[in-house]
Chains A and B, each alone.
Chain A
Amino acid sequence: MFDLLDKLALGFQTCLEVVWMIDPWFGLAIPVPLNLLLCFIGCLIGTLIGVLPGVGPIATIAILLPITYSLPPVGSLIMLAGIYYGAQYGGSTTAILVNIPGEATSVVTTLDGHQMARQGRAGAALAIAAIGSFIAGTIATLVIAAIGQPMTRVAQLFGPADYFALMVLGLMFAVILAQGSVPKAIAMIVLGILLSTVGSDLETGEERLTFGFSEISDGIDFAVIAMGLFGFAEILKNLESPEQRDVVKSQIGSLMPTRDDMRQSLAPIFRGTLVGSVLGILPGNGAVLGPFASYTLEKKLAADPSRFGKGAIEGVAGPESANNAGAQTAFIPLLTLGIPPNAVMALMLGAMTLKGIIPGPEVITKQPQLFWGMITSMWIGNAMLLIINLPLIGLWVRLLQVPYRLLFPAIVLFCCIGIYSINNNPLDVYLTALFAVFGYALMKFGFEPAPLLLGFVLGRLMEEKLRQALSISRGNFATFIQEPLSASLLAATVLLVLVAALPSIQRGREKVFVE
C-alpha cells in the first residue's frame, strides 16, 4: 500500500516537473512545467475534437504524432493520452446540445441527454456528465495504479508462445465485440496482419510485398494507414452524408445540478464506472460497449423504465461515467503487456515505439517515471477537464457553429503536413492518398477500418513472437499446446468462439448494436 503511494508520488513528481526552456526571441531561460502544460494541451485538443462531430480521436492522434517528434517521450504520451480521454468529455457536450454523438462512445448520451436539453435542463445534464466522468476517471486511475504492478509481474512469466496465444485471444475478443458482421471483422484483422508483413523480413531481410519500392522496405508507417483510413476516408464519408445540426437554442440552464439530480445520479455513476472499467480492458470495441451496457443496466434497475429516452438523468450519468472509465482502463493491456486492445491504443503503441520505448512489462520497472507519470497525469487531466468543460461551455457551443465545409479542408492540410513530417518524404503523402481510396472502398463494401489497424499493429508483434516460439521449439507447432499458459489461452479462444456461435448470444449481439 505504501509502495503504491510511493509510486503515485513519483508520478506526481513527474507530472509537475519543471523544465527550463529557452525562449526563441530573447534567449531567456523560462521555467515551464512542461508535462503539466502538455497534459492541459492534450485535454484541450481532446475536448475540441470531441465537440466537433466528424473528427475522431484516432485521426487526431495520428495527425498530432509528428508534433510529438520534438517533445520528450513522457510529455508526448501524456498529451496523447489527454486527447483520448478528453475526447470522451467533449463528445458528451455535442451529444447533449446537438443530438450528434461527437464520439462513438457518446451515442447513448444523445438519448436522454438531448431530451434533458430540450426540457431546458442542458446545464444539469452537462454538469452530471462532467462530474460522472471525473469520478469515473479518478476511480479508473486508481484501478490502473493497483492492477498495473501485479499484471506486469504476470506478464513477465509470458514466453513467446504465450504472448502469441494471448494476442490470438485478444483479437478474437475484438472480433466478437466489433460492430456488424463477424466474418467481415475477422477478414479486416487478418488483412491488417497481411499489411503488417509488408517490408523487409525481420530475420532474413528479404523484401516482402514491396513491389520494388525500396521506400517501404521498412514497412508501411502505421501513421500513413491511420491517417488514410481514419483521417481522409472519414472525410470522404462525411461529405456524402450532410449532417444536420440541431443546436439547442434555448437557455442551457443552471450548471448546478439540483440535490435531487445528484442523489439520482450517484449510484449510476458508480455502477457505470464499474461496467466501463471492466469492458475497457477488453480488446476491440470494449470501451465503446461500456456506455451501452451501462445504459441497459440503468434501464433495467430503474423503478420506472419508461422515463428513459425522455430525459432521465441516470441515462446520462451511467454511460458518461462508463465511457470515461473505459477510456482509461484501456491503457492497462498496453502499459502492462505491451498489447494494444484497440485502434487508439495501437496508435499510442506507435507513438511509444517512435520514441524508442518498447511497450511491455519492462516499462514499469525500467521507466517508472513514464508509467506512473502517465497514470497520475490522467487524474490531473480529469480535474483539468472539469474546469475546461463546465465554465467554458459557451465557447464550445460557439465552436459547434464552425461549418464542416471549413473544417475538413483544415483537416486535410494538417494530415498532409503530419504525414510529410514523418520522414520528410512526399512518398508517404502519396501512400496515404492511396490508403484514403482504400479506406473509402472498405467503407463502401461495409467493412470497419478499426479492426484492420489493430491487426496491422499486432501483426508484427505476432509474427515476431510466433517465430521466436517456433525457433525455441525447433519448428514444433505443438509448443503452443504443450506450454500450459499458451494452451489455456488458446482453449479460452476456442471457448469464446463456441460461445459466440450460440444463437442466443448472436441475437444478443444484434440487439446491443441496434439499441
Chain B
Amino acid sequence: MAIEGQDAAATGKPDNSRFNVEVAGGLFLIGLAIVGFIDTYSLKFGQMSGVGPGLMPRVTALIVGAFGMLLVAQGVRTPGQRLQGWSLRGLTFVVGAVILFGASIRPFGLAIAGPIAILLAALADPNTRLKEAVPFAIVLTIACIVLFKVVLRLPIPLAPFALGY
C-alpha cells in the first residue's frame, strides 16, 4: 500500500476516488470481524440459564462487520478522499526499534538495547543528524538507568553479559 501520500494534491486530481478512505476502512473492519467471528465459532453461544463465552465476541464481531459494510456502501456511493499513502520510513524505523528492543533487552540489557532503540527510532526522521543523535542516545540511556534501575528499582536487565543482571 505504498501509494505516495501527496500525489492527489500534487497532480491536482480531484479527490473523488471510489476506493476511498471509507471503503478501505470498511474493508478493514470486515476483515477484523471475520477473524473474530471464525475464531470464536466453536465457543458456546449460550443456553437458557445464561450466556456462554461465545456471545460477546460473536455479537461484537457481527456489529463491527455490519459497520464495515455500511462504510463500504457509503464510500462507494459518495466518492471521497483517497486513501493516503503510508510512510514506510516511519513505520520501519519506529516499529523496528520497538521490536529490536524486545529482542535485545533480555540478552543484552538496557545498556545496549537502550541506545540501539533510540538510534534506530531516530532514523525515522530525515532531519536526524548522527553527531547529535549518538551523544543524545548515550545521555538518555544513562538517565533511564538512573531513573528506572536506581530510583525506581525496576527488575529490568541492565547488562547481563557484564554484570550478570
B103 contact set on A, CB distance < 8 A? 426
Please tell me if A2 contacts chain B, counting CB pairs below 8 Å.
Answer: no
B87 contact set on A, CB distance < 8 A? 236, 239-240
Q: Please judge, given known A-B contacts A405-B122, A437-B91, whether A466 and B70 are in contact too, CB under 8 Å.
A: no
Q: Is A409 in contact with B118, judged by CB distance below 8 angstroms?
A: yes
Q: Which of B43, B44, B122 contacts A409 (CB 8 A)?
A: B122
In the complex formed, the residue of B with least CB distance to A416 is B101
Please tell me if A513 contacts chain B, counting CB pairs below 8 Å.
Answer: no
Complex CA–CA separation, A13 to B28 (angstroms) = 52
Name the prevailing secondary structure of the B interface residues.
Answer: helix
Q: Is A239 in contact with B67, judged by CB distance below 8 angstroms?
A: no
User: How many CB-defined contacts (below 8 Å) exist between A and B?
Assistant: 212
Q: Is B132 in contact with A406, judged by CB distance below 8 angstroms?
A: yes
B5 contact set on A, CB distance < 8 A? 240
Please tell me if A447 contacts chain B, counting CB pairs below 8 Å.
Answer: yes
Please tell me if B21 contacts chain A, counting CB pairs below 8 Å.
Answer: yes
Q: Is B118 in contact with A412, judged by CB distance below 8 angstroms?
A: yes
Q: Which of B61, B90, B101, B117 contacts A236 (CB 8 A)?
A: B90
Please tell me if A424 contacts chain B, counting CB pairs below 8 Å.
Answer: yes
Q: Is B102 in contact with A208, judged by CB distance below 8 angstroms?
A: no
Q: Please judge, given known A-B contacts A187-B68, A475-B48, whether A194 and B36 are in contact too, CB under 8 Å.
A: yes
In the complex formed, the residue of A with least CB distance to B48 is A475
In the complex formed, the residue of B with least CB distance to A239 is B90
Complex CA–CA separation, A467 to B155 (angstroms) = 39
Q: Is B105 in contact with A429, judged by CB distance below 8 angstroms?
A: yes
Q: Is A191 in contact with B32, judged by CB distance below 8 angstroms?
A: yes
B97 contact set on A, CB distance < 8 A? 409, 412, 416
Q: Is B46 in contact with A430, judged by CB distance below 8 angstroms?
A: no
A404 contact set on B, CB distance < 8 A? 125
Complex CA–CA separation, A67 to B128 (angstroms) = 29
Greatest chain A CB density within 10 A among B24, B94, B155 is at: B94
Interface string of A170-202 (1 = CB under 8 A from B): 000000000000011011001101100100011
Q: How large is the interface on B (under 10, 10 to 19, 20 to 34, 35 or more residues)?
A: 35 or more
B118 contact set on A, CB distance < 8 A? 409-410, 412-413
Please tell me if A420 contacts chain B, counting CB pairs below 8 Å.
Answer: yes
Which one of A121-129, A148-156, A257-265, A438-446 is at the B interface? Answer: A438-446
In the complex formed, the residue of B with least CB distance to A187 is B67
Please tell me if B57 contacts chain A, counting CB pairs below 8 Å.
Answer: yes
Interface string of A489-513 (1 = CB under 8 A from B): 0000000000000000000000000
Complex CA–CA separation, A235 to B97 (angstroms) = 13
Please tell me if A20 contacts chain B, counting CB pairs below 8 Å.
Answer: no
Interface string of B107-127 (1 = CB under 8 A from A): 000100110011101101101
Please tell me if B8 contacts chain A, counting CB pairs below 8 Å.
Answer: no
Q: Is A409 in contact with B137, judged by CB distance below 8 angstroms?
A: yes
Interface string of A465-478 (1 = CB under 8 A from B): 01100110011000
Please tell me if A232 contacts chain B, counting CB pairs below 8 Å.
Answer: yes
A441 contact set on B, CB distance < 8 A? 28
Complex CA–CA separation, A433 to B105 (angstroms) = 15
Q: Which of B67, B71, B90, B117 contacts A416 (CB 8 A)?
A: B117
Complex CA–CA separation, A181 to B39 (angstroms) = 29
Complex CA–CA separation, A278 to B87 (angstroms) = 41
User: Known pairs A403-B127, A412-B118. 13 more at Cβ < 8 A?
Assistant: A184-B25, A208-B40, A208-B53, A236-B94, A239-B89, A409-B97, A416-B101, A421-B156, A437-B91, A441-B28, A445-B24, A462-B56, A475-B47
Q: Which 10 A-B pairs have the closest CB atoms?
A: A429-B102, A445-B25, A201-B53, A187-B67, A194-B60, A426-B102, A412-B121, A409-B121, A416-B101, A471-B50
A–B pairs, 13, beta carbons within 8 Å: A67-B152, A70-B152, A183-B71, A197-B57, A211-B39, A236-B91, A409-B137, A412-B117, A426-B103, A432-B98, A440-B86, A445-B25, A446-B81
